[in-house]
Structures are given as structure tokens and as C-alpha cells.
Structure 1
Amino acid sequence: MVRQLIGLAFLSLGVGTAAEPVVSPLPDSQEAFFSDDGYRIDRYRSPTPAKAVGAETVSTEGMQALLEKEPALVVIDVINLEYRADRFLQTEPHRSLPSAVWLPNTGRGRLEDAWHDYLVQNALALARHNRNHPVAVLCKSDCWLSWNAVKRLSEAGFRNLYWYKDGVDGWANAGLPMQPIRPVKPRFHSEQSSDS
């Protein structure tokens, strides 16, 4: 799917000829970055596209306006954190937007079922089991983790999604208030642990 979309983009830019309506495959170097179902699986901290699947992209100013307009907005931070022996191994505070809920390890491209369920079940609970409830997802700027998490929530049926592409560093660079947050504890055991 991703290969086809990128191939179509190459065709629209004039790469290829009208007599060849063949979709160009991704170069081998790019192909390794995406799974067959379109998730980014490598080099999560690299330039991201302008849009995420199923979501409206918001800038820092847009996120501020959204928080004012939608006071019940669910804000999910997906920055990774190592999880071992049924606990997160947090050695320093993580600061995020004041209303954010931290659901680490849910933006990876290849995700175990337990972490997928952790994301979707927590998002549903935060949205009061209403898939139309507004939900914004973030990590850091130029970070594919939030892009993947938005795609995952969209595929789970959430229909009012926002992608805050600038992330916590964009918020901090704008001098906006932040607060330390703690990750939501998973309900599964360490045999389904996560590497950072």
C-alpha cells in the first residue's frame, strides 16, 4: 500500500512516462522503513509527512486553539519508555502538555497485541467509549511514533483525531506550560515487555 502511494507520488511528479502507468516500487533503502501494512518501523526520529492517516494535523498554535475550543480533548503522549518486570523503568521525569496522558510504546510500527490493546482500551476509556470524541496524539517533532499511533487509532475506529506533529519539544520551544506526567500502568505482565 505504502509502495503504491509513493509510486503514485513519483508518477504525479513526472517520474515515469504516460505509456508506463506502472506504480514505482520504493527504493530498497526506503522500503525497509515501513511494514507491509504501512507503519513506520525504523528511524522513528526523522522527517515526517505533513499528514497522518485519519487525522487532522495541528500546529502548536492549532493545538492551543484546539485545547481552548475542546476542553474535553483527550491528549495522548506516546513517547517510548522501557517496560520490564511489570513496571516502567523511568530514570528522569518526562514533561508533556498539562492535560496529556502518557501511553508509552504504542507508536512502534510492529506492536505486540498487548501494547495495541493498551493503546486502544485506554483511548476508549479516556474518550468515554465514544469513538467520535476528539483525541490528539503527540510525541516529539519529527517523530513517527505519534504518526503510527494515530494510524492505529484511526484503524480502531476513532473518527475525530488530531496529530500534533510538533510534539512536546514544539510546545516547550513555544514557552508554553508543561508538567511532569507518569505513564499509565499496563494490565499485562512482563513476558510481554518492551525495549526502549
Structure 2
Amino acid sequence: MALTIGDDAPDFEADTTEGRINFHDWIGDSWAVLFSHPRNFTPICTTELGYLASIKDQFDARGVKIIGLSVDPLDNHEKWAQDIEETQGAALNYPLISDTDFNVSKAYGMLPNDVDGDPTQRTAAQNATLRNVFVIGPDKKVKLVLIYPMTTGRNFDEVLRVIDSLQLTAGHAVATPAQWQPGEDVIIAGSVSDEQAKEKYPDGWEAPRPWLRIVPAP
């Protein structure tokens, strides 16, 4: 079954472009983004990998590790990395998993359990469900799942925005409204009573409805 928010992120061992890893050990006390690709040498994924490499410092600043996944073997990863650098102007600066046995893809519910054989004999269309983004917290729980079609490039600026929200709301009893950007007002969580809110926000809050309590971001 596909993973959803709140599930344990499956642990695994896998070969990557930066060596073999144990996923949970690799995450450590950080946040992590795992994002998958149907096959190497696909045009939309090439732009995504390059763009993410160009903004990796923004993930680093938030304590977030990045790791990609494709079913191709490592030698293909190395060739694709060259193409990414040459066409996108940014070299890979994060690991790319070689999931040739489909074990990680299956564990994360992205491919059916009966998929097997030579991954290089499968087309990108056959692996179309490998277009996921998972944000995983330091507690190794899934915090966000995004699934994109093959024809639409992923918006990693939005992933950063969600991470900003996740990290803020993990430390404070608040939630972020539609179109929220860091620094903008937030909403007091429904789990917080008015009495509790008065202790935290002695200056009060804006409440167009009793259940909609708006305060400045903590």
C-alpha cells in the first residue's frame, strides 16, 4: 500500500552515487527529502535534478538532506549526472539511489510488488508512478507526499515552503493558512483552548470566527 502522512518511512540499504547507505542512519537527526524518477535520461527529471542541485544550499540551511532515486544502475547514474551538469548548469551534489531491484520503490508503494527483471528493459512510462516526493522528519515519519505526472515538472520551491511550515508547526501549536509564506500570520491550532492561547498570546488574536484565531508567526 502507498505510504501516507504519519506512516513510518521504511528503512532500507541501497547503493547510491555517494556509496552504500542505510537510509535511517543517513537521515540521522535531520529532515530529508526523497524524490523518485521513472528512468534515467528522461527530460523532465533532468531539469528537476539540475534545479534541485542549484538550490541545495536552501535545503542545507533548513537542516534538510536530499536524495534522489531511479531504477537505473549506477553507471547510468554517472552518465546521466554528466548530462545534467552540461544541460542544466548544475552538477549533482546529493546522492542518487540505484534501485535496480525495485526494493525501495516497492517499500514506498510506488511500484507493484510483482515488478521484477532488468530495470533497463522497462520504459519510463511503465514506471510512471515513480514521480513522488516524500518529506521525512527526524522522527522518521512521513510528513508530506506529493505525486506528479510525467509531463509536469516538480516545484521544489513549494517543497521548501512546505518544509518551512512543517518545521514551524512542529515547534509551535499553530497551523499555516493557504498561500502562507514564512513570516506571515498563522492560525492557532484547534487543539489549543482559548485559555491556553491567552497564556501564549497575552495580547490576544484576531478572530473573524471563534474557530479561526489569527496571530503573528512565532
TM-score w.r.t. structure 2 length?
A: 0.31
Larger Rg: 2
TM-score w.r.t. structure 1 length?
A: 0.34
Structure whose residues are more often strand by fraction: 2
Q: Which has the higher contact order (CA 8 A, sep 6+)?
A: 1
